[in-house]
Chains A and B, each alone.
Chain A
């Protein structure tokens, strides 16, 4: 009884300590740890907001098995840069709502933030943003990817996205003829 009580107290103390901290520790799929402002994380990510509210944040590093260290570093970097910036609707909306709010153009620093990334890093980041329910970061990264796709040919898209062409030569010729108009410049 005594031992159990002790355990319970320790648990209680740990929870209180956790609630008092103003950062949360996130752990990437390859085991690297990152600290991020709790306020920014809760404001920008619906998933992290849910985890913080539900008490499922691990003091020793909350496991984010789906996100690699490079992408998580970018996520944390984005959160920190955003920490003192415009308020987000992330806390208000409980889940990612596609195509509901009008898209606000990326701000200068957001544009610079994604411009410096390689294709692979950008793709990893958009997946991380999607997974964490970071509506604004998802907007900014999707916008960047769509800018990059504009004016590209299907061949170039296959190369960038590593997509296998599963059309036969005849099928491709047929669909190309139907969509001939779409091959003029955007």
Chain B
């Protein structure tokens, strides 16, 4: 009896660990280790997926754009989670990256940076664009990058093999499209008859099939004091909708 129990204990001393205890241990590991251990077993994979918020280096919040010291705008990250699972954000201006470019977009744990450079090997010279995608590995390694374009008929679509064109609600220039809370949002500034910009409007595409935009918010522009470049910050947790004007 005793012998049997000892050998059983020896076979799996960690087998009786509760899920909370495994997470408690994993929460002390760097993100890279935690991700690698998704390969340990399906149980660990499910555990890590379902507790990713408790694990190390998980952030949730949003970016706002601020004037940089050397001109241009610099992103600033506002963290909405506090506690041990969330260490101080290293540098939200991404200055630890060489040729970091500027923050193009972010949503659902993805951060897209973009920079331009002149292609020296091309005899004619030519502007090239580079994109860097950062992702929260504790959420998902699956992602798809696309870019909205505007066609000759003032309609926005998505470049790629499968796409649809949906007319924007006001058929005007300079609008801004972003996904928030799982819905496509469109924001733009409206002018009065004297061509003065007076209002900010935000539409939401409630139903993808109907292609009907619904007016979700509108605000008189004097509430905002900025130049009128709109950013709808995607947010890392994907659960809130915050609009900023920078």
Contact = CB atoms under 8 A, between A and B. Distances in A.
State whether these chains interact: yes
Interface of A: 68, 98-103, 119-120, 123-124, 126-127, 130, 138, 142-143, 145-146, 149-154, 157-158, 160-167, 172, 175-176, 178-179, 181-184, 186
Contacts, number: 114
B40 A149 contact: no
Contact of A162 (B13, B18, B32): B13
A182 B43 contact: no
Give the dominant DSSP class at A's interface.
helix
A183 to B, nearest CB: 6
A69 to B, nearest CB: 12
Interface in B79-99: 83-85
Given A98-B24, A99-B84, A157-B37, A166 B43 contact: yes
B211 to A, nearest CB: 34
Interface residues of B, number: 40
Interface of B: 9-18, 20-21, 23-30, 32-33, 35-45, 54, 83-85, 137, 141-142
Shortest Cβ-Cβ A-B pairs, 6 listed: A146-B28, A182-B35, A154-B39, A162-B12, A182-B36, A161-B14
A165 B15 CA distance: 13
A158 B14 contact: no
Contact of B33 (A150, A160, A178): A150
Nearest to A141: B25
Given A120-B10, A162-B13, A179 B141 contact: yes
